[in-house]
Amino acid sequence: MPTPPFSLSPLCQLPVGTTGRVCELTGDESFCQRVREMGFGEAALVTKISGTTTSLCLVNGTRIALNHRAAMSILVEQLPASAR
């Protein structure tokens, strides 16, 4: 069953092949700032390419690798296929 819209989940739980919107960053200040500076901040669209513990994502055409702790700190809402 697809995840209902607007429910937040950590990025590591976003299914492979789906797209989500970054809604909240929960890591320490320094991490949040770096993530935002890399264009991965709130409202950015992110597509999961692979991984559950270590995640590989596509953000703005760039492949970004995140470890589990980093992916746990990024909360996303999964977008329905039609909204991508």
Partner 1 sequence: MKLPAHIALTGRKRPSVAPDRPPVYAIVGNPNCGKTTLFNALTGLRQKVGNYPGVTVEKKIGVTYSQHGRPIEIIDLPGAYSLAARSPDEAVLRDVLLGRRADTPQPDRIICVVDAANLERNLYLVHQILDLGRPVLIALNMMDMAVAAGMKVDATELEAALGVPVIACEAAHGKGLVQLKLALSRVELPLARHRWDVPAPIASAVAELQASLVGSDGRPPLIARAEALLLLTDFDTVRVAGSRPLSARTHETLNQWRQRWAGEGTDWSAVLIRSRYDAIGTLCRDVIRRPRESGPSRSDRIDAVLCHSVWGWAVFALIMGALFFSIFSLAETPMNFIDEHVAALGGWVKAHLAPGDLRDLLSDGIISGVGGVVVFLPQILILFFFVGLLESTGYMARAAFIMDRPMSRVGLNGRSFIPLLGSYACAIPGIMATRTIENAKDRLVTILVAPLMSCSARLPVYLLMIATLLPGTAVAAGKKAFIMLLMYALGTAGAFGFAWLFKRTLFRSAPPHMIMELPPYQPPRFTEILRHMAERAWLFLKNAGTIILAISIVLWFLTSYPKHPSPDATATEQIAHSFAGRAGHLLEPVIKPLGFDWRIGIGLITSFAAREVFVSSMGVIFGVEGTDHDTTPLRDALRAAHWPDGAPLFTPLVCLVLMVYYVFAMQCMSTVAVVKRETNSWRWPLFQIAYMTGTAWLVCFVFYHAGRALGY
- Report the C-alpha gap between 50 and 6 in whole angstroms: 22
| Binding of partner 1 by 4 (CB under 8 A) | no
Tell me whether residue 1 or residue 29 sits nearer to partner 1 (CB atom). 29
Q: Is 64 helix (H, G, I), strand (E, B) or coil?
A: strand
Among positions 8, 65, 81, 83, the unique one binding partner 1 when judged by CB under 8 A: 65
Among positions 63, 80, 81, 83, the unique one binding partner 1 when judged by CB under 8 A: 63
Extended strands (E) in 11-81: 19-25, 45-50, 55-59, 62-66, 74-78
Amino acid at 26: T
Site string for partner 1, 7-46 (x = CB under 8 A): --------------------xxxxxxxxxxxxxxxx----
Tell me whether residue 1 or residue 23 sits nearer to partner 1 (CB atom). 23
Amino acid at 54: T
